[in-house]
Amino acid sequence: MAVKKRTQRTSDELGEAELLLDENKDFTTFAEKNLFIQTKKGELIPFKLNKSQVLRQKMLDEMDAAEIPIRVWEAKARQAGCSTHVQGWMFHRCVTRRDEAGLIAAHADHAVHSIFTKTKLFLDNLPARLQPLTKYNNRAELDFRAPVGPNGLRSRLTVMTAKSAEDARGTTARLAHFSEVAFYKQPERYFLATLQSMPDEPGTFAYAESTCNGSGDFHHTMYLGARVWNEEPYPWMPLKKKYPGDPDSTWFAYFTPWFIVDEYTRPLKCSPEEFEKSINPEERALLDNFGEWIDLENLSWRRETIASKCGGSVQRFHQEYPSTDEEAFSASGSPVFDRDSIQAQKNIHGCWCDMCLPYSGAIKPDENVAPPHKWYEIRDASNYPLGRERLYSTYKPELDEASDGIGRMSVWADPEPGYRYIVSADVSKGTGSGDWDHLCVFNLATLEQVAEWRGKIELDALSPLCLLVAMHYNNAILAPEVTGLGAGLIALLERSRYWNLYRRITTDTLGGPGIHLGWDTNRKTKPAMVGLMQKALKEGYVKIHSRQVLDEMEAYTRTILYSKDGIDSLQARMSAPPGKNDDACVSAMIANAVAHYTPGGMTKINATEVDMDKAMDHNQWSDEDWSTYEQSQSATRRLLSGKRRQ
């Protein structure tokens, strides 16, 4: 008996056929007719785009029409409706097109599942006639395939927590939403692993968005490097006017200020005339700068929020609800070093050569006094045969000119006869690591940075390099960090018998004073070297030319540590943001700390009024003067430790 062919399609198949119609391709129309969102009051309402979402959608539509891969990097204020909008856009793509694969990633489990809940809300409240076939519908995945057989849209949405780069390997997506990227643990590695699997072709979509967590981190760097979609950035994007982005980048920057979010308004409690009279200078500046976009009801909400949610702190309001992209990055985070002091260093002493410009077209400040930036490679010109033992005196440093930006040694001032210098070194984990070997050279008398070396080499090559740099700068005080792998470096340097290795004095109650080589960064010395650099920057007596050092200092952050019970441990962790380095910053801090602990700029022992000028300038000291100083210091240490000469 012949089997009768099925000619009537199921309701699910009819629904999918309707979803695929061209009339459903427009997201704005589809969302208002068929998608529902939940308000903060718990009510379900149609997804009609608000003012901030309309601006964002305009950009996405224009990118789509231009037939380019959509890549957007957004900085935002809190609760601005960005995640809901992006999730709605991705859901719409997955149910109105076949074979789409979407990925949703966030910094924490609760965050990613909160975002995914919005997507599931779209599906649950989709009109019955448009419900697609669904194979999987759980906490981690929506799979629009038939439970059995080949039918269905074959699109899917999956979620993951961006804990490590390994989590991203093996994932393949055409659509991706990266939420709160400023709080990813390994953002650079995670994005490298994820984006490698995404094709660079029209129809693909990658949207990264986050509130800000200070400047200098991966989120800040990517935002600065992204281009601007419009010919002229919005008035609330002054950073993008200064930093128009890398012309080779495929990412486009976007920022959402608080005042274009529809719900951030409150009715006035007085007449508009009375409210106008009470406007303070900052509120007046908001009206003057963004008058087309902000009104008195926005300012009324701002006042209420500052008083009720921010404890009366305008600074906290700036952190949570920034008005500009510049404010978003500068007001957030917990920087270790005063940002005004860092900016002053950049303006006055920072290098502004073509390779060090902060952004394309930047103009060197009139007050800048940085000397010319020269690039070199340093090498040993002695031709001494290799062997098991080699003294420092057999090395002969020589500088070879290199192309700008290619040479690993940067020089702003050559060594001057009669001056003493400090060479500090922060040690990397080797050529295959993500960190760098970084040497800083400072004039001991003026605390002016005169050179730096930055690269990645192994310990056996780093040891002679440190000697060459130190010998080139008048046999400088050589202060490598001995923490971690630095212990290997100091062991190699000690074998060279270099006489001017930095010696630190430690005193304990049992053994008395001890002398150790190099700088040891530990829980006692790190706060000291940080505090000394804070003082030097604020008082302006340190002069830093390196853009790398200053940028890392600007990004250097403080995290307060708490116990498992939430009690303040009275300790803080100070480090670079996730995905960034602090090698240059640490090296400069070591040099500054060693300068404070090293003779120089202090009154000579037994100085008289006649030789006071000479006593205050250690560069004029003779060998006899230095011997007198060292003897007095030794006597003082014996006295403090309770020991007497036997």
The three state secondary structure string of 114-153 is HHHHHHHHHHHCCCHHHCCCCCEECCCEEEEECCCCCCEE
β-pairing verdict for 205-210 and 101-106: unpaired
> Are 622 and 541 contained in the same domain?
no
* Average pLDDT across the chain, whole number: 84
CATH of the domain at 56: 3.40.50.300
The answer to whether position 381 is within a domain reads yes
> What pLDDT, on a 0 to 100 scale, did the predictor assign at position 645?
39
> 617 is written with which tokens?
């300038």
Distance from the Cα of residue 113 to its chain's centroid = 26
Are both 318 and 457 inside the same structural domain? no
How many Cα atoms within 13 Å fall on the side-chain side of residue 363?
3
pLDDT at 510 over 90: no
Domain end marker among 222, 256, 290:
256
Is pLDDT above 60 for 644? no
| 435 lies in some domain | yes
Q: Who has greater pLDDT, 644 or 552?
A: 552
- Residue 584, pLDDT score: 94
Model confidence at 136: pLDDT above 80: yes
Is 33 a domain residue? Answer: no
569 domain-assigned: yes
If asked whether residues 356 and 417 sit together in one domain, one would say yes
Number of folded domains that form the chain = 4
Residue 603, pLDDT score: 33
Residue 462 lies in a domain: yes
For residue 222, what are the domain limits? 50-256
- Is 323 found in the same domain as 450? no
pLDDT digits (tens, 9 = 90+) for 75-107: 988 778 888 999 999 999 999 898 888 888 888
Sequence-distant (≥ 6) Cβ neighbours of residue 120 within 8 angstroms = 137, 142
And the tokens for 249?
């980048």
**Final residue belonging to a domain, choices 256, 285, 302:** 256
CATH code for position 467: 3.30.420.240
In a shared domain, residues 284 and 425: no
Q: How far apart are CA 426 and CA 423, in angstroms?
A: 10
Compute how many other C-beta atoms are within 10 angstroms of the C-beta atom of residue 223: 30
Lowest-pLDDT choice from 42-56, 145-159, 196-210, 486-500: 145-159
Identify whether the C-beta of residue 547 lies closer than 8 Å to the C-beta of residue 565. no
H-run or E-run covering 423: strand 421-426
Strand pairing of 512-517 and 503-508?
A: antiparallel
Same domain membership, residue 555 and residue 497: yes
Is 102 part of a structural domain of the chain?
Answer: yes
Q: Does residue 201 belong to any structural domain of this protein?
A: yes
Banded model confidence at residue 166, pLDDT cuts 50, 70, 90: low
Position 29 in a domain:
no
| Three-state SS at 211 | coil
Pair 466, 508 in one domain = yes
Angle at 405 between CA 404 and CA 407, to 5 degrees: 85
Regarding whether 404 and 364 lie in a shared domain, the answer is yes
CB under 8 Å to 317, separation ≥6 — which residues? 302, 305, 306, 310
Q: How many CA atoms lie within 13 A of 423 on its CB side?
A: 29
550 and 634 fall within a common domain: no
CB 197 within 8 A of CB 225: no
User: Does the model's pTM come out above 0.75?
Assistant: no
Q: Does 535 share its domain with 555?
A: yes
Looking at residues 467-490, what average pLDDT do you find? 93
When pLDDT is averaged across residues 246-265 and rounded to a whole number, the result is 91
**pLDDT per position as a tens digit, 48-74:** 999 899 999 999 999 999 999 999 999
Q: Are 601 and 536 contacting, i.e. CB atoms less than 8 angstroms apart?
A: no
- Counting residues of the chain whose pLDDT is more than 70, the rounded percentage is 85
Q: Give yes or no: residues 307 and 421 share one domain.
A: no
Return phi, psi of residue 578, to 5°.
Answer: -55, 135
Residues 622 and 507 in one domain: no
Instruction: Judge contact between 254 and 72, C-beta under 8 A.
Output: yes
